[in-house]
Amino acid sequence: MAIREKVFNTIIGCFKRHGAETIDTPVFELKETLTGKYGEDSKLIYDLKDQGGELLSLRYDLTVPFARYLAMNKITNIKRYHIAKVYRRDNPAMTRGRYREFYQCDFDIAGQYDAMIPDAECLKIVHEILSELELGDFCIKVNDRRILDGMFAVCGVPIDKFRTICSTVDKLDKMAWADVKKEMVNEKGLSEEVADQIGEYVSMQGGMDLAERLLQDQKLSQSKQACAGLSDIKLLFSYLQLLQVTDKVVFDLSLARGLDYYTGVIYEAVLTQTAHAEDSVSVGSVAGGGRYDGLVGMFDPKGRKVPCVGVSIGIERIFSIMEQKASAEKVRTTEVQVMVVSAQKNLLQERLKLVSDLWNGGVKAEMMYKKNPKLLSQLQHCEEAGIPLVAILGEQELKDGVVKLRVVSTREEFDICRADLLAEIRRRTSEA
Amino acid sequence: MLGLTTRFSFLALCVLQIDEEVAKLLELKAQLGGDDGKHQFVLKTAKGTRDYNPRQMAIREKVFNTIIGCFKRHGAETIDTPVFELKETLTGKYGEDSKLIYDLKDQGGELLSLRYDLTVPFARYLAMNKITNIKRYHIAKVYRRDNPAMTRGRYREFYQCDFDIAGQYDAMIPDAECLKIVHEILSELELGDFCIKVNDRRILDGMFAVCGVPIDKFRTICSTVDKLDKVRLSQQEAHAEDSVSVGSVAGGGRYDGLVGMFDPKGRKVPCVGVSIGIERIFSIMEQKAEASAEKVRTTEVQVMVVSAQKNLLQERLKLVSDLWNGGVKAEMMYKKNPKLLSQLQHCEEAGIPLVAILGEQELKDGVVKLRVVSTREEVNAL
């Protein structure tokens, strides 16, 4: 839990640095709110039992509740983050490390704005978070739904197959092209020529230069959709340059996010370290998102659109990685600064008085719940819990009006006047 | 003073009633069906649940920080448990209240229920992990199929905020620390005067016995005695200072037998703890914020980066990026050529204290105009 708190603090700190507000929504929604939003994944939704009231389901993500919140409160502009658990009846055996209850960590900018500026900020935020968490090298892949659709069109994919071919292309990060092509031809009914043409495009990666080249591409430039997407990618990269994050961003035509509701730019961040022997966490994306301009309109009775762009941080994956890293070092589970101990018997009253003074002074302190604990056990507890200071009460010291302050790491001891103790502890803990 | 507060209470109640009636009418209207063929379903949260808007979240964060700060000061760790438990884990633990538990639909797997409190999950956690000693806090939402209409301000999804000390220790020391914690929290939150009432189950039972109550009636008589605080309350409500029903803001006690119910060998782990009535505290703080002139900020932005003329988007992006890289909380408008006035207006509304103004002349001179929003002073910074 202590690891989780550090990760949350870093991420929330970044969101706040960018001026985001936060909201919270209930863990369950009306079943009808979630119906029809997740395509094939709908079978993974947890339903609540019909107990005579409204039909309810546990939220599957934070995006649909967000769209519901915007429509319900008639909000047209908001920059918000939302960190909460979501629920999916995945089969954990099949997808390693996949839980049925897990955290999602979303940041979204809703509103009609000038093109690509909020989109660029989302990428800046991913860059900042992944850098600050020091997870190692990473890469943010960027593409655009319109470029994908335009590419499918000029390659000869029938329109009714766009979404399903998109799902297949999405598998390129896990499967080799040969297998992906096989699925396109054998399972999805594309001809080999069409598949090969797609293959040429999806192998392309680059930066603004690639977008410029493709705008000149004979075939692709025939699609107005693709051209719009390519122009926006160019614009995006120009902003990313100003925001100083182009070093990790790649325009990758093989990127095809699974969800149906993306309408424009899409992106995904992956860690680029090759799996080490000890690293049992399957390499996958650690963040993903894109633009989804049509979702809120599905909730608004008048169909009023609120354009949105956002990113979801893969926080559970990040926890796993951090937990593995931490298993080497000691992680403290409490923040206690001083333990108040007795050196002899019958000093419970003095301990209670002293610990109370420390609490009242804002110092994080604790003591053993025993009338006459052994000194050794108390000191042992300090070492195990990583408590840096001990305030030792002893009969002689009490007569002299002092408290022995011990620094656990060095085992040095100092006799501090009782009246000066609080100040001395504050000084030592602020320097730490 | 009293006249003022009764008027305030009356007004608040009126608005609430109006909102309720409107919601009912909207629901009925939706049931009549959509008229324009577009997606028509009721835009609402489930009964008894609500969203928290940014303002409420800002207030909530402050309250949590105070409470968690206190728990940490006392050396508590924290844990988290799943929102649902196996139905059998919760069965038989809540007596008559069991009918208020939310069950999940049987979808072919294990039978599950949403947690009703944080104490039973805690006992399950201790027994499952064979833990004999722990000092932990747990802040999370719990679920009860209460009837919100009957019990004003009672939600079906609400936060609980528990602090518990489990373990065999010398008598009353951990119990005393729990009360010290309640005292610290309520004092720090500055909710006003408070009183912590203390009693003991053994004294109550002993009293019933010597007064001649039959043993099999102990628990039910106990429930009746428990209503004394509400009966007295209705006589006081006429003088109530706030429209939030005056009730307890924290409660707890010692429960030595619960963990043993989960342990296969019946091994006991004595526990004492307290639950902070955090929803009630939210309501009180929200009302205070409403009543006071103080503005509740929903963001922590320190500097807004603005353009004084057109075609300065690039400079804005560069500057805001430098500020973020330097750890400064900053933002800018998502417009290529926003009007200076709109940008400054946003600052005032959002309570942003500083503005960094980029202008053509200033750029030539290599400076940025830094404006203090509250005083409207401006300085040129390099």
Considering only alpha carbons, which residue of chain A is nearest residue B181?
A359
Minimum-distance CB partner of A19 among B52, B57, B329: B329
Over residues B116-140, mean pLDDT = 94
Please state, for a pLDDT cut of 90, what percent of chain A lies above it.
77
Query: Pick from A132, A44, A104, A84: which is nearest to A317 by CA?
Result: A104
Cα–Cα dist A55/A45, whole Å: 13
Average pLDDT over residues A204-225: 94
- To the question of whether residue A60 is assigned a binding role by annotation, the answer is no
Tokens 């929330």 sit on residue: A12
Domain edge (last residue) among B272, B292, B312 = B292
Q: Does B301 sit within 8 Å of A24, measured CB to CB?
A: no
How much is the pLDDT for A281?
42
Lookup: tokens for B103 = 């069950």
Quick check: is B9 in a domain? no
Residue A344, in any domain of the structure? yes
Using an 8 Å Cβ cutoff, are A269 and A140 in contact?
A: yes
The alpha helices in chain B, defined as continuous H runs, are 2-31, 54-73, 87-90, 119-128, 173-188, 201-211, 218-226, 228-236, 258-262, 278-291, 313-325, 340-350, 360-365
The domain that holds B143 is classified in CATH as 3.30.930.10
Residue B10: inside a domain: no
Residue B151 is predicted with a pLDDT of 52
How many Å lie between the alpha carbon of A114 and the closest alpha carbon of chain B?
5
CA angle B304, B310, B314 (to 5 degrees): 60
Of the listed ranges A369-383, B114-128, B145-159, B273-287, the one predicted with least confidence: B145-159
Residue type for position B126 = L
Is A291 near chain B, with CB under 8 Å?
Answer: no
Give residue B272's domain range: 54-194+249-292
In whole numbers, what is the pLDDT of chain A averaged over residues? 91
Please tell me which residue of chain A has the smallest CA distance to B336.
A114
pLDDT classification of A300: cutoffs 50, 70, 90 = confident
Rounded distance between C-alpha atoms, residue B191 and residue B285, angstroms: 8
Higher pLDDT among residues A276 and A155, named by residue? A155
Could you tell me which residues are beta bridge partners of residue A389?
A: A338, A407
User: How many angstroms separate the Cα of B351 from the Cα of each of A266, B294, B314?
Assistant: 33, 11, 25
Q: Which range has the worst mean pLDDT, A49-58, A182-191, B224-233, B319-328?
A: B224-233
Least confidently predicted of A157-171, A197-211, A228-242, B1-15? B1-15
CA separation for the pair A236, A143 (Å, rounded): 11
What is the rounded CA–CA span in Å between residue B265 and residue B129? 14
**What is the reported pTM?**
0.85
* Tens of pLDDT, residues B277-308: 898 899 889 888 888 877 899 999 999 999 99
Q: Which residues of B touch A1 (CB under 8 A)?
A: 77-80
Each residue's pLDDT tens digit, A174-197: 889 999 999 999 999 999 999 999
A146 burial level (CB within 10 Å; 0-12, 13-18, 19+): buried
B23 DSSP 8-state letter? H
Mean pLDDT of B123-128: 94
Q: For the residues A266-272, what does the mean pLDDT come to?
A: 94
- Best mutation site among A242, A291, A422 for testing chain B: the one with the most B CBs within 10 Å? A242
Task: Specify the pLDDT at position B290.
Answer: 86
C-alpha separations of A405 from A335, A384, A388, A428, B113 in Å: 18, 18, 11, 11, 50
Closest Cα to residue A29, out of A2, A7, A62, A74?
A: A62
Last residue of a domain, one of B266, B292, B318: B292
Distance from CA of A280 to the nearest CA of B (A): 24
Looking at residue B67, its pLDDT comes to: 97
Tokens matching residue B134 = 């722990």
Q: Are residues B89 and B168 in the same domain?
A: yes
Q: For residue B174, which residues of chain A lie inside 8 Å, CB to CB?
A: 369
- The answer to whether position B4 is within a domain reads no
In this structure, the answer to whether residues A15 and A151 fall within a common structural domain is: yes
pLDDT at residue B237 above 50? no
- Taking CB atoms and an 8 Å limit, are B105 and A48 in contact across chains? yes
pLDDT computed for residue B15 by the predictor: 53
Q: For residue A157, is it within any domain? A: yes
Ramachandran bin of A146, using left for φ above 0, alpha for ψ from -120 to 50, beta for the remaining angles: alpha
Rg (CA), chain A: 28
Mean pLDDT of A307-316: 94
Asked whether the beta carbons of A147 and A226 are under 8 A apart, the reply is yes
pLDDT of residue B154: 75
Phi-psi region of A111 (alpha: psi -120 to 50; beta: other; left: phi over 0): left
Q: What is the pLDDT of residues A284-298, one digit of tens each?
A: 789 999 999 998 998
Q: Stretch B53-63: mean pLDDT, rounded? A: 95
Question: Any binding-site annotation on B164?
Answer: yes
Q: Are residues B274 and B161 in the same domain?
A: yes
Instruction: For residue B223, give how far its alpha carbon lies from the nearest alpha carbon of chain A (Å).
Output: 27
Enumerate the H helices of A156-304 as residue ranges: 162-169, 177-182, 192-202, 208-215, 224-242, 295-299
Mean pLDDT of A325-344: 88
Average the pLDDT over B40-66 and give the result.
Answer: 90
- Domain identity same for A117 and A238: yes
At A2, is the pLDDT very low, low, confident or very high (cuts 50, 70, 90)? confident
Distance separating the N- and C-terminal Cα atoms of chain B: 53
Give, as one character, the DSSP assignment of residue B294. P
Radius of gyration of chain B (CA): 27
Shortest Cα distance, chain B CAs vs residue A11, angstroms: 13
The verdict on whether residue A429 carries a ligand-binding annotation is no
ipTM value for the complex: 0.85
Contact list, B84 vs chain A (CB under 8 Å):
101
Q: Quick one: pLDDT at residue A277? A: 38
C-alpha A174/C-alpha A181 separation (Å) is: 13
* Beta-carbon contacts below 8 Å between A and B: 192
Q: Is B170 annotated as a binding residue?
A: no
Cβ–Cβ under 8 Å, residues A290 and A309: yes
CB contact, 8 Å: B73 with chain A? yes
User: At a CB cut-off of 8 Å and minimum separation 6, what does B267 contact?
Assistant: B127, B259, B260
Rounded to an integer, the average pLDDT of B166-171 is 94
Supply B239's token pair.
Answer: 């003088």
Provide the sign of the torsion angle of the four alpha carbons B94, B96, B100, B103, taken in this order: positive
* Total residue count of chain A as it appears in this document: 432
d(CA A107, CA A290): 11
Tell me the three state secondary structure of residue A140.
strand
Long-range contacts of range A118-122, CB-CB < 8 Å, 24 or more positions apart? A118/A79, A118/A309, A118/B334, A119/A236, A119/A264, A119/A265, A119/A291, A119/A309, A120/A236, A120/A239, A120/A240, A120/A243, A120/B317, A121/A18, A121/A243, A121/B334, A122/A267, A122/A289, A122/A309, A122/A310, A122/A311
Domain's final residue, options A293, A326, A359: A326
Partners of B42 on chain A (C-beta within 8 Å) are: 30, 32
Does A305 reside within a domain? yes
Q: Is B81 on the interface with A (CB under 8 A)?
A: no
What does the pLDDT read at residue A276? 46
Of B36, B76, B300, the CB nearest to A334: B76
Alpha carbon of B106: minimum distance to chain A alpha carbons (Å): 7
- The structural domain count of chain A equals 2
Do residue A150 and residue A254 come from a single domain? Answer: yes
Residue window 83-112, chain B: list those with CB within 8 Å of chain A: 83-84, 102-107, 109
* Same-domain status, B114 and B261: yes
B288 and B308: one domain?
Answer: no
A102 found inside a domain: yes
Q: What is the distance between the alpha carbons of residues B127 and B260, in angstroms, rounded to a whole number?
A: 8
pLDDT at B145 over 90: yes
Mean pLDDT, rounded, for A207-228: 94
Mark whether A319 and A345 lie in a shared domain.
no
**Residues B89, B135 within the same domain:** yes
Burial degree of B326 (CB within 10 A; 0-12, 13-18, 19+): exposed
Q: B330 touching A, CB under 8 A? A: yes
- Contact A48/B104, CB-based, under 8 Å? yes
Same domain, A268 and A140: yes
Q: Is B216 annotated as belonging to a binding site?
A: no
To the question of whether residue B175 is assigned a binding role by annotation, the answer is no
Three-class HEC string of A283-326: CCEEEEEEECCCHHHHHCCCCCCCCEEEEEECHHHHHHHHHHHH
List, as ranges, residues 176-195 from A with C-beta within 8 Å of B.
Answer: none
Q: What is the 8-class DSSP label of residue A188? A: T
Q: How many CB atoms lie within 10 A of CB A3?
A: 15
- Asked whether residue B115 falls in the same domain as residue B257, the answer is yes
Q: Residue holding tokens 């000084």? A: A427
Question: Are residues A251 and A142 in contact, defined by beta-carbon separation less than 8 angstroms?
Answer: yes
Render pLDDT for B149-163 as a digit per residue (tens, 0 to 9): 545 567 899 999 999
SS3 B319: helix
Structure tokens, A102: 């897990």
Domain presence at residue B308: yes
**Mean pLDDT on A403-426:** 95
Do B313 and B361 share a domain, yes or no? yes
From CA A29, how far away is CA B157, in angstroms rounded?
12
Local structure of B192: helix, strand or coil = coil
The span from the CA of B49 to the CA of A320, in Å, is 32
Report the relative pairing of strands B157-166 and B112-114 from DSSP bridges.
unpaired
Check which CATH number belongs to the domain holding A390 and give it.
Answer: 3.40.50.800
Lookup: tokens for B152:
């004003």
User: What's the mean pLDDT in A105-125?
Assistant: 96
CA-wise closest residue to B350 among B112, B21, B54: B54
pLDDT, residue B228, reads: 77
Q: Of B87, B88, B89, which is closest to residue B104 (Cα–Cα)?
A: B87
Q: pLDDT value at position A166?
A: 87
